[in-house]
Amino acid sequence: MIAIIDYGMGNIHSVQKAFESLGTESTVVNNPRDLKKCRKIVLPGVGAFSDAMAELKKQEMISAIKEQINNGKPFLGICLGMQLLFEKSQEAGKTKGLMVLEGEVKKFPRKDGLKVPHMGWNQLMVNPRCPLLKGVADRSYVYFCHSYYPEPKNKTDIAAACEYGADFCAVVWHDNIYGAQFHPEKSQDTGIKILKNFIRLC
């Protein structure tokens, strides 16, 4: 069973429908008790970093998420859910993230005529060793909608990058922790392949 964390800010139903279309059971959770019952965890997200952390704290989910990650359960953060894995964000001032990965979330600079947010289809530069990206061809297109992106302190945590004015981290991978800055549930065949890979993780 895959737990999809609901903290009032995620695109919960589209993520759940994507798993259902692949014949995989998932359940929406908002408390530590139900989180512990599941074998894998997904943290989706759309919205503000500080608001998301405040809601997770209210639900007493912060320590529960860290506990399950430390127990080795496969974890996937999507969009804001990926950003929350890091220590802090330029969006949120002094608000701390989950702090399970080292690094900071930064905002795209407005330069060279680039529009912010970065919205639409863009190509991944893939590290084929990452289990989440198994079978995903280099330069595959995925769907983005974001103004901020993570900058991991440990560059070995970057499993795929994307170019938007400059290269930025699009997928992170550290042991059982995975994050996608794009929306796999909206990324057609490539996104389905990524979700299938997550389902198959031990």
* Mean pLDDT of the residues in the chain: 96
For the chain, give every domain's residue range: 2-200
76-97 confidence digits (pLDDT tens):
999 999 999 999 999 988 899 9
Q: For position 84, what pLDDT does the model report?
A: 98
Distances (CA, A) of 192 to 17, 119, 136, 167, 200: 11, 20, 10, 24, 12
**What is the arithmetic mean of pLDDT over 102-117?**
91
Per-residue DSSP letter, 129? T
118-143 confidence digits (pLDDT tens):
999 999 999 999 999 999 999 999 99
Q: How confident is the model at residue 110 (pLDDT cuts 50, 70, 90)?
A: confident
Q: For position 9, what pLDDT does the model report?
A: 82
Active site residues: 79, 183, 185
Q: Which residues pair with 88 in a beta bridge?
A: 96, 104
Q: For position 92, what pLDDT does the model report?
A: 85
| Predicted structure pTM score | 0.96
Q: For position 75, what pLDDT does the model report?
A: 98
Please tell me whether residue 177 adopts helix, strand or coil conformation: strand
| Start-to-end Cα distance in the chain | 12
Complete DSSP assignment for 8-75:
SSS-HHHHHHHHHHTT--EEEE-SHHHHHT-SEEEE---S-HHHHHHHHHHTT-HHHHHHHHHTT--E
6-59 confidence digits (pLDDT tens):
998 877 999 999 999 999 999 999 999 999 999 999 999 888 999 999 999 999
Give the CATH H-level superfamily of domain 2-200: Class I glutamine amidotransferase (GATase) domain (3.40.50.880)
Token reading at 24: 């995989």
Q: Which of 193, 191, 166, 165 is nearest to 79 (CA)?
A: 191
Q: Assess whether pLDDT exceeds 90 at residue 202.
A: no
Give the whole-angstrom CA distance, residue 4 versus residue 141.
25
